[in-house]
Amino acid sequence: MGDLGDRVNVMGPQPMAKRSEIPAAMLEAARRVLEGLAAGDATGLAALAVPSGAGELAAVAAAVMPGTYDQHRIIATARINDHHYVKARLHGPRTEAFTVQFRLGEYAGEWRVWEAMNLTGKRGAWAR
């Protein structure tokens, strides 16, 4: 373990480990997924999913009305080992936000969607 850092002028211990970086390539993949959802690009989205996750991603895409959303924001990224859950909202000027959660993991050297779910309009911790 690393040392506790320079603690002369601070209250409490300094961080002993560096924050694990969120892979830039993962965030780029997330951006492509969100843009694909907003644009209703079913073909492009299919290419971003592993075979077992393609159906779920297509179901989420089917729930998005193309052209409705012009912005997106990632609100959570949570890891399970090397896979990352991304929770994000699509925003548009004339409608409520669309909330989506998907899991990204590497597959054949690229970041792909392993599962996806539509969390829009649901209550509680599973949904927000």
- With beta carbons less than 8 A apart as the criterion, state whether 44 and 58 touch: no
Query: Which residue's CB is nearer to other proteins, number 62 or number 71?
Result: 71
**Which window, 18-26, 30-38, 55-63, 64-72, contacts other proteins (CB under 8 A)?**
18-26
Interface with other proteins includes 124 (CB under 8 A)? yes
- For 94, residues 6+ apart whose C-beta sits below 8 A from its C-beta are 68
What is the Cα–Cα distance from 93 to 84, expressed in whole angstroms? 29
Query: Which residue's CB is nearer to other proteins, number 12 or number 93?
Result: 12
Assign 115 to helix, strand or coil: strand
Binding footprint of other proteins on the chain (CB under 8 A)? 1, 4, 12-20, 75-83, 85, 87, 101, 103, 105, 123-128
